[in-house]
Structure 1
Amino acid sequence: MEVPPEPVFHITVGLFIVLLLVLILPFKVRIIEENLEPFFLIMGIVAVTISGLWSLELIVEALKEPVWLPNTPVPIGIFQVVLIFGLLIYKFNRQIYGSFVSILRRVGIRTFVFLTITLLGLLSSVISVIVTAVILSEIALILPLDRKKKIEFVVIACFAVGLGAALTPVGEPLSTIAVSKLKGEPYHAGFLFLLKLLGAYVIPGILALALYGAYRVSSTTVDRIEIPEYEESLRSVIVRAIRVYIFVSALILLGRGLSPLAIWYFSKVPPIGLYWLNTISAILDNATLVAVEIEPEMSLAQIKSALISLLISGGMLIPGNIPNIVSAGRLKIRMNEWARIGVPIGVVMLAVYFAILMAECSLC
């Protein structure tokens, strides 16, 4: 069933209520904060039901995408990556952690943090955001930081990874969809299209985040750096992968269910307003918004501003991006803990990039 061309009142009201519940309840209700996956799944089911968009195709997509990403010839998805890497670390944790600790001892914590954020941010467009997120999670565990500092490192790094993953179509679904929609006239988008379009904005942003991350741990004094004890059971490794599977499926349903709002309202917002309205991708699958917003008729300036705002906003809350979901699950980071760090960073980044884009008259 397709979305009606014009707004339907009862659907609009219902979907806005779902949107408000998703934005508010994880911060106000402790049991929901601790069980985001089933909550988002329920909200996704409710949103699709209100929209009347249930179809066999959607059900298959929600079940399949966590284990088989679009445009990949073999079944590979976030579920397998999280599970396989989790099992490898469960089996070889001493060797893996020992390698990271050896580098950390050699270069020091500030340099290590800077290099980690920079390299993972840049590599995420090559090895995919999923693999990068798993590596980041394990690196965070070996850092000799208290919990607050460790969460801060993870959030900053996830911003960098989310930015970097957009530079090629293999990085994440957002970039895959954007290139697919722009592959025809007039842009003929190819593999390097987004790198050429966004590279001058994304790469300095990654470096700035890496410097900020290094600065935030600069006050940390470390006398001895030891290999941490591995505390996960085999059951917890498997359960974590299942929870990630549920979260991704839930976001697919939520994104499709809320898509009428994007089609009816977001797509008609002027570029300046759209830049700030895209902050909704902090809780909504940004690939859905790209599918709705990005069109070949848009100017490069409009495409650039829409993508940048989506990429930054995706780092502000846990549901906003795959690295956030994986890292929060591994380190047991709650929504409030993430938001206290992610929202201020995201707001500052949005303001800085907005000023840059305005100076270039990109949003005129």
Structure 2
Amino acid sequence: MGRSRSNPSHRGLAVVPDPAAEAAHEAGLVYTTDDEPGLRRARKGKGFVYLDPDGRLIRDGATLDRIRSLVIPPAWEHVWITIHPRGHLQATGRDARGRKQHRYHPRWREIRDVNKFDRMAAFAKVLPRIRRRVSRDMSRDGLPKEKVVATVVRLLETTFIRVGNEEYAKQNRSFGLTTLRNRHVDVKGSTVRFLFHGKSGVEVQVGITDRRVARVIKRCEELPGQKLFQYIDAEGEHRTVSSDDVNQYLRDVTGEDFTAKDFRTWAGTVLAASALREGAGFESETDAKRNVVAAIDQVARKLGHTRAVCRRSYVHPAVIDTYMDGRLETVLGAAASRVPARLKSDEAAVLALVRRKAKRNGSLLAA
């Protein structure tokens, strides 16, 4: 059974199920954590040996094959490996920068990806609500927190820029929306241009024309300090917007656990569907595959990812599968006629497509 979180000192209280534990159980896996006794790696000569929880050398061929299949980088320190072949979490360790890294069971990755994509349908359903709230908050007087955070959310949707993380900004000098400095933006009239180094040192150049966004950014630039997105709290103090602020805003608006990353996942699928519809037709499977690669490359450029990452994590498989079957234009065209309020026609079409796929997967998120 999946494990549950409970406090043994408070008997009689309801036990709160752990969603990850339940998902692991449903996938036929054992829910594991690195708090449990596990296998560890020790260096020997130019290679490694592996020890069981009692410190004995592991010689079992099947166990060693499983460990090798995880392809744990040699640079990792403090490596922990689960004793369970079907553990959902197979290994953890610390990379050269001291950051915790994970290796999961292949089945868990499959389930996680399915759930992530099925989540799109639920996100698309609340997107009109987010847009209404953002529009209302951006109309507030002054420079309160709600107004500045709403502006960041608007930019998440229109620029596809990552939300940002202060740790990355300090350690890697790579930036996202909430960690941008004044020097990273140029405002001329209603036009806003961003130029900075994002994740992995990739140069990001994005321009938009949005009068309301430009006005808020100009006000933010007038505040003391180098950080761009600041607001004025009830006491008149200047505060910086964080990624936590953005994610909390989205949770408050939707009543669900959506985050800034959901904008990029949704955008990747909509962009891919649009690129495939607008691209060249195909007469053969080879032509179709070539068109898919071209469309994924367009998405990769806009999201700042590699082709492989975009295809695996940002483009819903239903879009590619339907295109390869020669039905994408028909399916999306029929769905576009039923446009929910504040959803664009291409978004409504993609929503219908992923919603159908989600139902086939039995997703509760999209129910």
TM tier relative to shorter chain:
under 0.3
TM-score (norm 2): 0.24
TM-score (norm 1): 0.25
The higher-RCO structure (CA 8 Å, 6+ apart) is 1
Please identify the structure whose Cα radius of gyration is greater. 2
Q: Which has the higher strand share?
A: 2
